[in-house]
A = this chain, B = another copy of it.
């Protein structure tokens, strides 16, 4: 724990913000607007929460420039450029010490004789480093992990407990792999034949670039041949499924429980919201955004926003979504027409 206290003014200085109100307030932690007490700091990042601020009992509140306001209850308001980044900084001030992974090989780890372990590496209790595997300098392989035969792991990686990385897969540098992840299980390939279903050998690997983060219990399957490839700076949430031969471009974000079918290509800077499914063999262009729970059946042009199942543009989606209301109206019109026609007919008789 590095619990300590800062005044509102000290915090403002740290985040290059401006104090409005009482900068002498003493802050000892962070909390939400709803929960914060007089010695805690909270934040408003969104106009939606601005009213909540004026009812908050927080000792200080970070707010972004655009929402510049009077301090709540005469307390301390700190105006800053990027409230999310600044709030992260303040969280860091009060955060408990992170977990410590001593840079040594635990007695109970099973490290193959011909494995190559770099300098300043942590190999946790009961971790297994199989034959021919290589762990780069400054990497942390936590307790219970299995690192397969001839796996190559670069420098500065943080691999949490109980991760499985199978034979020949390759990780670059500075990746974070969360617990329960499986990298390099066989892709799902079978051929129907007259004598039954035949397994298609999956002889390729998974390649992970640099600065990638992969969430808990996510699975990334090895390629049929060649590589399943997750490029630099990709961020993947929990329980995502990446099938064989998928390629994911730089800076792409995959939110929880997404699934990407075999040989799909995902561009750079794409965002797949939670529970999205991507069909096999299609191409999702750079910068595409897919709304949560959508099922994308066809390739999507760069920069598009798509939603629904099968996924379509926002305009098409809204046309579909608003149908019930528009239908009722049309039904009314038809009823009116029918009545008018009847009236006309009876007049004419």
Contacts and interface: CB of A to CB of B under 8 A. Distances in A.
A338 B336 CA distance: 9
A109 to B, nearest CB: 9
Contact of A338 (B219, B261, B337): B337
Contacts of A253: 190, 197
Contacts of A110: 106-108, 125-126, 143
A244 B10 CA distance: 29
A245 to B, nearest CB: 8
Interface stretch (A58-66, A179-187, A298-306): A179-187
Highest count of chain B CB atoms <10 Å: which of A126, A179, A331: A179
A143 to B, nearest CB: 4
Interface residues of A, number: 108
Copies of this chain present = 3
B324 A320 contact: yes
Interface in A230-281: 233, 235, 237-239, 241, 243, 251, 253, 255-257, 259, 261, 274-275, 277, 279
Interface of A: 30-32, 35, 82, 84-85, 88, 91-92, 94-96, 98-100, 106-108, 110, 124-126, 128, 130-131, 142-144, 146, 148-149, 160-162, 164, 166-168, 176, 178-180, 182, 185-186, 188, 190-191, 193, 196-201, 203, 213, 215-217, 219, 221, 224-226, 233, 235, 237-239, 241, 243, 251, 253, 255-257, 259, 261, 274-275, 277, 279, 292-293, 295, 309-310, 316, 319-321, 323-324, 326-327, 330-331, 333-334, 337-338, 340-341, 344-345, 348
